[in-house]
Amino acid sequence: MMKATIVTAPTSTNGDAVFQRICRASAFLIGILMLGIMLSLIMGAWPALQHFGFEFFTSAQWNPVTEEFGALNALYGTIISSVIAVALALPISIGIAVFLSELCPQNWSRPIYIGIELLAAVPSIIYGMWGLFVFAPWFSQGFQLWAGQHLAGLPLIGGMFQGPPMGVGLLTAGIILAFMILPILTSLIKEALSTLPNVLREASYGIGATQFEVIVHVLLPAIKGPIFGALILALGRALGETMAITFVIGGAQSISSSLFMPATSIAATIAEQFNEATGALQISSLIGLGLVLFMITFIVMGVARILLRRSAQQ
Amino acid sequence: MNKLFKGAALGLAVMCSAPAFSATVINGAGASFPYPVYAKWAEQYNKETGVELNYQAIGSGGGIKQIKAKTVDFGASDAPLDKSELDEFGMVQFPAVMGSIVPVVNLQGIGPDEMRLSGEALADIYLGKIKTWNDPALKALNPSLDLPDMPIYTVHRSDGSGTSYNFTDYLSRVSSDWKNNVGVGKEVAWPQDANQLGGKGNAGIANFVKRTPGAIGYVEYAYAHTNNLSYTQMKNKAGEFVSPTMESFQAAAANADWAHAPGFKLILNDQPGAESWPMTAATFILMYKEQANPETAKEVLKFFDWAYEKGDGLAKELEYVPMPDSVVEMVENTWHNQIKSTSGEVLFK
């Protein structure tokens, strides 16, 4: 009762102070939360880190029977599948964004954009199920069979397309991830394009540039920084994705040069093994994997910040 | 303000007194493999007695952790604990129900119950020593089948599971190579010489096998049955080929030597008997010997007593194998002799 009257009193400045403190506390809460998560991950992973030393990060052994654990398999699968996803999704999302903001008639742009936003609202487990039951069979009978006959023999890249057409594996995981990060990439790039002043377009057309030249030589270079930022955000999402990947990556603790072979990711390994893990060392190693993922995401975001700042300074 | 306070006080009073009106609740957590039958039993039992069973299928590992932390009245695990570990924590362990694991294959023209496999062949397939379906070892087992020259894809569980534990246990019993190089576990390092593919859950394996020509996997019988997968016959310890049926599962359980298994730690793989299905596994319940809360413990024991006595039909409907009467008798003797209240009162009479 007391407080309420003070807050509503127009002459008092106490309200501002309270408000400021609440806001500050909220901001600090994020920091404390981060620190707490980091600390508890390190504490949980400590027995494994102590037992295996640095080898935990470089060993490809993951054997619950002999209690030998290394993060390399999962690390490899996480990074390669995310890189595939970003590499596939970036050109497509630039295409969509350019079409929506520069090329397509106003009354079309909105429904298409809503469709893309809806893609972002699909829960990731739905992508996983769709990937496993619909996409993987089609992919194995279509692209993988074809690639096995035509691409596998090629020098250099041939090795990436060898192996049985099982439908699931690193490449499938990368493609499903690409679908999942498409909406965020598209909407960020479209936003960036829409912030560009119209003067830029008018001036470019004014000196006789074609539509293609305006888009490729003027507009896209002007949003290089935001595109890169979007890329990193999307990569962050791809790295940590769990459920969809668990369904389609194939769940094999191994590293293969072929993108068709089953692999595993950090998040998938944790999701699959944590429930039934009984040995203290295995649990600790799984938490250690969590720590590795946390650190990668941290480094990726950090590098992105540094690069973005540099491009802003130029 | 006053009104609000009164309302709150009333609400609080209602909340506090609510448990006094509601029925008894027993809490359990653990293995997900028996969850469907526990849930079915609980529903029926609740109708008959009003006692509610709250079972969380969080996995065997989780069940063991929860009972050790004493947050549940009983824990459930697919892999039995060692007698020494039971003694250390003062727990008893008993089998609740059984299930069977069957190999399933995807080969054109080969339907359920047509192909024959032996334990050695199965181990060699998963070890990557037998790589194609027309391997001489498989041909020798199946002289009447036309086996194709096709690579074998082995499908295993990518998540930790009691099914994998029992499957790898069986392979260890029949193949010293498997025992020495891979071992037994809910997750193992699957030999990379074979074309290994990991599916999540029984459904994951069923899905991969169904879709990949030349694939072989292992699932609980219920999944093979409902998904119409081509399960195989197996050569058992007596050297006979048996089909996976309720009779062969029950034969395995009946021929098992429960009386000489300390803490009921008995895995029903590779049991003697001409009729026995070689991959049968019980799932276990863990309870404390000394019960600080004897009333709840009594209810837990009553529930499982009811399940042994009246739950057989429900279990069979779901393709689970009920425990044979001789084993039930041994289990109930153990309850009677070992589970007591802190003051020494016998809780199961």
Is this model's pTM higher than 0.90 or not?
A: no
Q: Is A65 on the interface with B (CB under 8 A)?
A: yes
- How far is the first Cα of chain B from the last one, in angstroms, to the nearest whole number? 56
Q: Is A69 on the interface with B (CB under 8 A)?
A: no
Check residue B9 and give its pLDDT.
Answer: 53
* Whole-number Å distance between alpha carbons of B309 and B332: 12
Would you say residue B1 has pLDDT above 50?
A: no
* Whole-number Å distance between alpha carbons of A257 and B16: 62
Of B186, B188, B196, the CB nearest to A262: B196
Stretch B95-115: mean pLDDT, rounded?
Answer: 93
Q: Quick one: tokens of A310?
A: 């540099």
Q: Which site among B64, B167, B197 would you substitute to test the A interface, given the most A Cβ atoms closer than 10 Å to its Cβ?
A: B197
Query: Which pLDDT tens digit goes with each residue over B170-195?
Result: 999 999 999 999 999 888 999 988 88
DSSP state of A97: H
Residue of A nearest to B192 (CA): A254
Residues in chain A: 314
The reply to whether residue B160 touches residue A277, judged by beta carbons under 8 angstroms, is yes
- How far is the first Cα of chain A from the last one, in angstroms, to the nearest whole number? 55
* Whole-number Å distance between alpha carbons of A200 and A314: 19
Question: What ipTM does the predicted assembly reach?
Answer: 0.74
Kindly list the structural domains of chain A, giving each domain's residue range(s) and its CATH number in brackets, ordered by start: 73-265 (1.10.3720.10)
**Residue A226 to residues A98, B15, B109: CA-CA distances in angstroms?**
14, 54, 57
Q: Which amino acid is at B102?
A: V
Stretch B222-242: mean pLDDT, rounded?
Answer: 90
Q: How many CB pairs under 8 A join A and B?
A: 98
Q: Which amino acid is at A48?
A: A
Q: Quick one: tokens of A220?
A: 């896209």
Closest-CA residue to B324 (of B274, B270, B266): B266
- Counting other chains too, the contacts that B250-259 makes at CB distance below 8 Å and 24 or more residues apart are B250/B321, B250/B322, B250/B324, B251/B275, B251/B276, B251/B277, B252/B100, B252/B276, B252/B277, B252/B278, B252/B280, B253/B98, B253/B280, B253/B282, B253/B321, B253/B323, B253/B324, B253/B327, B254/B324, B254/B326, B258/B326, B258/B327, B258/B330, B259/B330
What are the strands, taking DSSP E only, across B221-289?
A: 230-231, 233-235, 241-242, 280-288
H-assigned helices in chain B: 2-21, 35-49, 60-68, 83-89, 119-127, 136-141, 162-174, 176-181, 201-211, 221-226, 246-255, 294-310, 312-317, 325-338
Please, which pLDDT band fits residue B20 given cuts at 50, 70 and 90? very low
Q: Cα B254 to chain center, whole Å?
A: 17
Provide the shortest C-alpha distance from residue A265 to chain B (in Å): 12
Q: Quick one: tokens of B291?
A: 């019960």
Query: Which pLDDT tens digit goes with each residue over B243-298?
Result: 999 989 988 888 888 888 888 888 889 988 899 999 988 899 999 999 988 889 99
Would you say residue B207 has pLDDT above 90?
A: no
Stretch B81-106: mean pLDDT, rounded?
Answer: 92
Query: Which pLDDT tens digit goes with each residue over B109-134?
Result: 999 999 999 999 999 999 999 999 99
Name residues whose C-beta falls within 8 Å of residue B129's C-beta, 6 or more positions apart in sequence. B177, B193
Say whether A297 sits in a helix, a strand or coil.
helix
Would you say residue B12 has pLDDT above 80?
A: no
Residue A69: strand pairing partners: A62
| Core vs surface per residue B193-204: b (16+ CB within 10 A) or e | ebbbbbbbbbeb
Check residue B255 and give its pLDDT.
Answer: 82
Of B58, B160, B197, the CB nearest to A166: B197
Name residues whose C-beta falls within 8 Å of residue B45's C-beta, 6 or more positions apart in sequence. B51, B53, B303, B306, B307
The reply to whether residue A64 touches residue B195, judged by beta carbons under 8 angstroms, is no
